[in-house]
């Protein structure tokens, strides 16, 4: 049986919950998860669509907002922000006791802005101001257009969860945006860099789903290997990025590293272990955000052994073998980014349409 507190104390990895709903806030479920050792929470447009459409928990507030003259989309954001604020408040004691290492709650900008730099930045600032909690992280997709907005948010001292990262190459660009943003912030001698936090959400299981499909049965020995290998390479890149004179100058001002966050860690292939993407990515200065079912499975039979950086030669071998098998991981990343953006946008459009229907 895995112990989340021991995982953090012994290996330096935080487990966050990838789920939020009004019911979790009202019935004590979130409080129970925090007591189990969960150290943060992530949300996304699909999670909120399921929460709002899958229950009547929001009906009374929605009716009140409609009666007061709100539009359905304004009502949506009002309800989402209320949930995020309540979750931030639930995690506030951990945020304080961990010295702002953990206790964060993430909320994403509208997904239709993912190719719009100025629109993303304006929405991210607005969302950060409206939530008005020290332990909120604004989620911004790691699109090419999102990178300048990420850098600007960090330069303004705002915490960011960079989401939808599917390749080590894009991850390196994300880390550069974070470091450059901190350097801008550090130009103010009075700026407190220690209260700016960021995670780089590197997506895992979706990579295996797509790569396995491309491999077919010809290279069966490579099935289920791509995602973990990419994650381990990303971790090595992280160690390299946050070392040396450039980073040391920021660390001397109190700057925190941008931790890799392993996202999409629920196992989608039933022939793989249901804790595969937790057990195989354990290491210091990382986060793993897990859905409810994966969290319960991990608590029941997960491992706390360090695995993230114990077999680098094997990682290089796997990546080379995948390339020789004709797998273009760069192309996989581009495809998954588009699919991820489309999925979130579809969820967002669906819930807004449902609220419009309900208002009529």
Return d(Cα 140, Cα 137) in angstroms, integer.
9
Spatial separation of the C-alpha atoms in residues 50 and 34, rounded to whole Å: 22
Angle between the 312-324 and 329-359 helix axes, to the nearest 10 degrees?
Answer: 90
pLDDT of the chain along its 360 residues, tens only? 789 999 999 999 999 999 999 999 999 999 999 999 999 999 999 999 899 988 899 999 999 999 999 999 999 999 999 999 999 999 999 999 999 999 999 999 999 999 999 999 999 999 999 999 999 999 999 999 999 999 999 999 999 999 999 999 999 999 999 999 999 999 999 999 999 999 999 999 999 999 999 998 878 999 999 999 999 999 999 999 999 999 999 999 999 999 999 999 999 999 999 999 999 999 999 999 999 999 999 999 999 999 999 866 789 999 999 999 999 999 999 999 999 999 999 999 998 888 888 887
The gap between the terminal CA atoms of the chain, to the nearest Å, is 50
Q: How many domains does the chain have?
A: 1
CATH value at residue 199: 3.20.20.70
Instruction: Give the list of residues 6+ apart from residue 37 with CB closer than 8 angstroms, or none.
Output: 3, 4, 5, 7, 8, 15
Q: Which sequence positions are flagged as catalytic?
A: 139
334 burial via Cβ count (<10 Å: 0-12, 13-18, 19+): middle
* Separation of alpha carbons 350 and 294, rounded Å: 26
Query: Phi-psi bin for 20: left (phi > 0), alpha (psi -120 to 50), beta?
Result: beta
User: In sequence order, what DSSP letters do the residues of 114-177 get, joined into one string?
Assistant: TT-HHHHHHHHHHHHHHH--TTEEEEEE--TTHHHHHHHHHHTT--EEEEEE-SHHHHHHHHHH
Range of the domain at 129: 4-359
Does residue 105 contact residue 40 with C-beta atoms inside 8 Å?
Answer: yes
Whether residue 183 contacts residue 250, with contact meaning beta carbons closer than 8 Å, is answered with yes
The model carries a pTM of 0.96
- Cβ–Cβ under 8 Å, residues 217 and 225: no
Look up residue 54 and give its DSSP letter.
Answer: T
**What stretches of the chain adopt beta strand conformation (E)?**
13-18, 40-42, 104-108, 136-141, 160-165, 198-203, 259-263, 286-290
């Amino acid at each position: 049986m895995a112990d989340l507190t021991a995982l953090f104390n012994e290996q330096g990895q935080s487990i966050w919950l990838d789920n939020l709903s009004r019911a979790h806030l009202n019935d004590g479920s979130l409080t129970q998860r925090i007591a189990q050792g969960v150290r943060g929470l992530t949300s996304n447009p699909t999670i909120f669509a399921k929460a709002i459409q899958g229950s009547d928990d929001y009906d009374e507030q929605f009716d009140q907002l409609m009666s007061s003259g709100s539009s359905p989309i304004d009502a949506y954001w009002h309800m989402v922000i209320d949930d995020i604020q309540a979750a931030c408040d639930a995690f506030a004691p951990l945020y304080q006791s961990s010295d702002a290492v953990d206790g964060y709650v993430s909320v994403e900008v509208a997904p239709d802005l993912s190719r719009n730099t100025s629109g993303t930045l304006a929405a991210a600032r607005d969302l950060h101001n409206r939530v008005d909690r020290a332990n909120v992280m604004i989620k911004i997709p790691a699109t090419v257009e999102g990178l300048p907005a990420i850098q600007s948010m960090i330069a303004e001292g705002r915490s960011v969860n960079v989401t939808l990262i599917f390749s080590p190459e894009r991850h390196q660009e994300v880390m550069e945006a974070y470091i450059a943003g901190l350097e801008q912030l550090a130009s103010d001698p009075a700026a407190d860099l220690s209260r700016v936090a960021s995670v780089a959400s590197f997506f895992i299981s979706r990579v295996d789903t797509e790569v396995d499909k491309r491999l077919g049965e010809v290279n069966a020995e490579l099935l289920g290997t791509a995602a973990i290998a990419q994650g381990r390479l990303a971790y090595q890149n992280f160690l390299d990025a946050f070392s040396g004179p450039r980073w040391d100058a920021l660390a001397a001002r109190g700057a925190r590293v941008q931790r890799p966050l392993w996202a999409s860690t629920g196992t989608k292939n039933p022939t793989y272990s249901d804790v595969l993407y937790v057990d195989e990515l354990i290491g210091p200065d990382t986060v793993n955000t897990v859905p409810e079912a994966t969290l319960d499975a991990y608590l029941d039979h997960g491992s706390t052994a360090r695995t993230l950086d114990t077999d680098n030669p094997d990682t290089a071998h796997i990546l080379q073998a995948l390339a020789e098998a004709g797998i273009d991981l760069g192309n996989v990343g581009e495809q998954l980014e588009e699919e991820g953006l489309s999925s979130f946008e579809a969820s967002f459009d669906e819930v807004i349409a449902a609220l419009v229907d309900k208002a009529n």
